[in-house]
């Protein structure tokens, strides 16, 4: 028996990069995977047995309600929610005084409000089923105080606080909420922006205890752990996965 046999896992932003690697890891442990993304969800879901792909903007309240209803209608439940969708590589690095307010709000909507909306829609499903697992994807940047991406770093710090507070609120229902904070990862989204790679790749690798590129697959083990029985007495926690760049 695989660790997650019979479980339904919904992964936001799962059509590529870290999200897709996480989906593969959950599927390898027996979970039936639902991919939610703005683009490419159905094609990405074809990689998994009985995979389901649903196109949705997880920062939109109505779209989230429809997404969760569709997932439950097709799969019967949601046991695992991985909140992975977010904005990063497309953001320009610049002093905080040059960040437009509209961009600040967009980052907060996509990186933080989406998790609130997803959890608000999914937690009642988990409560009705006697429990569940939520894994939020943050970043190592708020622990290191990375400059010139103030909106992004702030949003990722908020996810850590969100995880802790929600864990306290839903623990009585056996809904466990944890967080994974990756370092600079050579994902498809990052590689599509050579200027980001040029600025951050070498400096990130040189600062690590394990001095190599971080790849999406490096994040998978921690997410599977938080989704499986081995973490049944762990909630409200954040694991930083960055090759020892930051010790948390």
Residue 248 pLDDT greater than 80, yes or no = no
Q: Is 16 within 8 Å of 40 (Cβ atoms)?
A: yes
Q: Which is the catalytic residue, given 88, 152, 225, 246? A: 152
pLDDT for position 76? 97
Decide if 88 is catalytic: no
pLDDT for position 118? 98
* Residue 153, CA distances (Å) to 9, 62, 98 in order: 27, 27, 15
pLDDT for position 128? 97
State CA 121 to chain mean position distance.
Answer: 16
Q: Is 226 within 8 Å of 135 (Cβ atoms)?
A: yes
Residue 189 pLDDT greater than 90, yes or no = no
pLDDT for position 196? 80
The tens digit of pLDDT for each residue in 84-127 reads: 999 998 999 999 999 999 999 999 999 999 999 999 999 999 99
The tens digit of pLDDT for each residue in 133-167 reads: 999 999 999 999 999 999 999 999 999 999 999 99
pLDDT for position 223? 98
State CA 43 to chain mean position distance.
Answer: 20
Q: Which domains does the chain have, with CATH numbers?
A: 8-241 (3.40.50.720)
pLDDT band at 177 (very low <50, low <70, confident <90, very high): very high
As a whole number of angstroms, the distance between CA 4 and CA 7 comes to: 5
């Amino acid at each position: 028996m695989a660790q997650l046999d019979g479980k339904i896992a919904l992964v936001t932003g799962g059509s590529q990069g870290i999200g897709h690697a996480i989906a593969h890891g959950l599927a390898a442990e027996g979970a039936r995977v639902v991919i939610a993304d703005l683009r490419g969800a159905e094609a990405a879901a074809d990689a998994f047995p009985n995979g389901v792909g649903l196109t949705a903007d997880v920062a939109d309240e109505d779209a989230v309600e429809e997404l969760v209803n569709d997932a439950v209608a097709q799969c019967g439940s949601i046991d695992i929610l991985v909140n992975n969708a977010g904005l990063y590589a497309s953001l320009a690095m610049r002093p905080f005084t040059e960040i437009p307010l509209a961009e600040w709000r967009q980052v907060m909507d996509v990186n933080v409000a989406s998790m609130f909306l997803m959890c608000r829609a999914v937690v009642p499903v988990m409560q009705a089923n006697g429990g569940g697992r939520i894994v939020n994807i943050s970043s190592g940047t708020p622990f290191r105080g990375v400059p010139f991406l103030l909106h992004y770093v702030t949003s990722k710090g908020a996810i850590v606080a969100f995880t802790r507070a929600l864990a306290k609120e839903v623990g009585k229902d056996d809904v466990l909420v944890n967080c994974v904070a990756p370092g600079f990862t050579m994902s498809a989204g990052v590689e599509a922006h050579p200027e980001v790679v040029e600025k951050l790749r070498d400096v990130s690798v040189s600062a690590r205890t394990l001095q190599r590129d971080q790849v999406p697959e490096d994040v998978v083990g921690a997410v599977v752990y938080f989704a499986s029985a081995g973490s049944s007495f762990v909630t409200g926690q954040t694991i930083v996965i960055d090759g020892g760049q930051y010790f948390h």
